Chains A and B, each alone.
Chain A
């Protein structure tokens, strides 16, 4: 198809070709095309088949008002071809088609419409109930939009941004741009969103005059240039507003252009004030076969020519109900389209000049006429009818431009909770009551006059400015006065229909709902529009109410014989425009933390895994049983990066009070130089954390928490003292300090080489805390702990020294063949010792008593004053609780998987951890089991996933499994 070249309104560059495929055939479009216009240019008239009746569907609008042009693009179904800018190499496929769009094997369904009345699925497929699952599959095969492979991986780059603005303007047409300029002129920060790839709205493609010598499209360019030039206006093009929430939160999504670093991105704008300037779309004309390919809206035909250089057909019939339709006919005639006639629903009230122009061109003008039917798979002829005499006349044509009137795009206003009401003069739903800090302007208010549209934008812009606390009362007053002097809303066109049954007159294209279906629904007693929508499905498709919204309400009111029946448009919901879930998900920011020893551990062969927010070394060889790592700690010396431990300083006059509140033990008696091990419970007595506390000075403490709790500890302390006004400070040192656990019988020999401090067992015994320097430089906070059950020194040093210390320990330990060990080795080592990890050996319901740590609870402390103590007291004697036990497997060869359940007749608990112990040469583990199984010697029957009923057996034993007397860690 040849493009009109040289039109000043064109948005295409016909010299730049873009290759793509349609149904596996090669097509060529041009830069600036949408997928829909490129296909249309390539001669495609049937884009898809309809949901229920498999009727052929074609290009009807250009802004995605229906699912007619939903296609599959690069494997993604239900993409609106109208809203998708063509890109090189796109693979476009028709959907809901068996065979080809032109010859669809399911096309016979169109003849069976009599068998599928309104509410067909609701009424037929539920009895007997067993029918439904089978019917569902068949229905899904025949009806439904698009297909997606279960293995489909969403391609593309997604992003998200959260800008703030003083004023957010939705709609980049003349009203929106005027509003933006008014607000930005006072210095406010303004955001403008426009769903098309350019600004200008409905001025953009029109050649008639704004004022003598200045056509509308040039006026649009003027406004756009001013907006683009303003430093305080941020313009988002290709951006569809999809949601509005309280506090003026506006969500939208933007499609990326070729040089954008994203394909789609989610935008969440918080604005002090919002201006909605979304303008109008067209209200479809109802007649038989009103959705045949070849029938299109006036602006669609008009913009195809002026924006994309495509004359939509050879010979056209116009059946319209507004002056824009006449304007389109004249313009298109001038561009070479043969126009048989222009039928206008209105008997009078047309713009005289336009009617004269029709006469000048010799185009038949038929006021008081409308289309009743058209024939052909794609339009071959149209039948028109006089609305008074019912005289009919047939016209050969391949294009039927049909449009009953205009309808404001009220979706954004409705989402913002504006109250809408029917206005008899314009025939529109107009905002009657706007929420605070939301304004509407332009065609949305029924305005038609170009100047009035712009001035109403200024009024909205100034009103929004006032919301932001900037005084523009004078400007607002002047703009209002000017608006009053300009033309107000024009008289709209009522719902007019030719005398037809409506069996093939579609009120909703997406859901294949006909006028007849609506009549059936009404006859069944559904009277409210909202219920009719539910039952007939009109307006429940991807485009929501875009096609049926206005007509449905008008039709229902006419049926009831009173316009008062029109109250509210049917509800629209966010997202207003279909959005990929991937777009909502945004960019996948897999953020994690590394310890200062990350690289050193990798060099040493560490296999790093994501654990919580950290990347940590899980293994140091491919042996996931970690035999060598474990043996090295038990018999020699190893080192572990324990930096991820939560580390905190708490100080101030009331620091002890805060510690007393959250720890279960008596924290008032911590001796300097000694470590206090304790735990925190929640108010239910359930254990949430354990760690050690040391005293570094008067009212000055340093403590550790488990890795998982590091992020919430300050919050926890502050929450539980929120009523107390205690004077204490806390600082989270987790990232400021690194920790190396030097463990094994040779640990002291290694450390002695690096410090002159006395670290002999008598000076620095198990449970001790001391501070010294390594190589006279690195300040160390050292703790004698024994988590892995061997002599060990936990060395806390500033993060900046960690790499050096790691290297020094490697160096000093070389004569002993020191080796790093990872988390899995530590996991087995501590299990052998019966030490637990909160979250592994406990769950949400596990109390301090349940895990055998009740000795930590100081009962002499105030129970009411200690978080969890009251609940511990209440649950202490409770029966049926899950208790932590140690067990040995009867069969020493295989460990059940962590999380396997313990059963008798019922589920009695689960395995927390079970491993083959290299040290003990048997399989041991810990489990949380019902109290009747918690006694020593009790048999545990373990059900592992996929065990086919073959239970594994174990017996409860006392813990610890290893070094019962605790001699090794106090060496």
Chain B
């Protein structure tokens, strides 16, 4: 896989080792009785804009951390060192 990602614990690794966790959409909504549409919006919809997106990735074949990183979806290249999640 051409993509490489920088795990905050293990460093730069092959994209094969990671699982995509979607765009960063912020924490779960707190409303106890949200309208179905609103809930679906949060769970399933992403802006999917071409360009730099902040995304969640899971280092499944490594240390097992979920972290966010920024990736340019037009080139599928990571754009900067991800921030630490913990």
Contacts and interface: CB of A to CB of B under 8 A. Distances in A.
Contact of B33 (A247, A249, A725, A863): A863
Contacts of A336: none
Nearest to B59: A715
Contacts of B64: 714-715, 718
B72 to A, nearest CB: 10
Nearest to A661: B28
Interface string B23-50: 0001111111110100100010000000
B62 to A, nearest CB: 12
A878 to B, nearest CB: 10
A270 interface: yes
A163 to B, nearest CB: 12
Interface string A231-249: 0000000000000011101
B39 to A, nearest CB: 5
A581 interface: no
Contacts of A247: 2-4, 77
A863 B32 contact: yes
A162 B1 CA distance: 11
A723 interface: yes
B56 A864 contact: no
Contacts of A874: 36, 39
Interface residues of B, number: 30
A719 B58 contact: yes
Interface string B55-82: 0101010001110000000011100000
B83 to A, nearest CB: 13
A246 B21 CA distance: 22
A162 to B, nearest CB: 8
B22 to A, nearest CB: 9
A812 interface: no
A621 B61 CA distance: 39
Given A247-B3, A684-B43, A715-B60, A870 B34 contact: yes
Given A270-B4, A718-B66, A722-B56, A864 B21 contact: no
A722 B66 contact: yes
A862 interface: yes
Contacts of B27: 723-724
A714, A718, A725: which has the most chain B beta carbons within 10 Å?
A: A718
Contact of A246 (B2, B36, B43, B66): B2
Given A246-B75, A270-B14, A874-B36, A715 B2 contact: no
A270 B21 CA distance: 25
A865 B26 CA distance: 14
A874 B66 CA distance: 29
Given A715-B19, A864-B32, A870 B2 contact: no
Contact of B34 (A723, A724, A864): A864
Contacts of A719: 21, 56, 58, 66
Interface string A711-740: 000110011001111000000000000000
Contacts of A723: 26-28
B56 A246 contact: no
Given A723-B27, A864-B29, 9 more contacts: A246-B75, A718-B66, A719-B58, A722-B66, A722-B85, A862-B32, A863-B32, A870-B34, A871-B39
Interface of A: 162, 245-247, 249, 270, 683-684, 714-715, 718-719, 722-725, 862-865, 870-871, 873-874
4 smallest CB-CB distances across A and B, nearest first, come from A245-B2, A723-B27, A683-B43, A249-B2
12 contacts: A246-B76, A249-B1, A683-B43, A684-B43, A715-B60, A722-B85, A724-B27, A864-B30, A864-B31, A865-B28, A870-B39, A874-B36
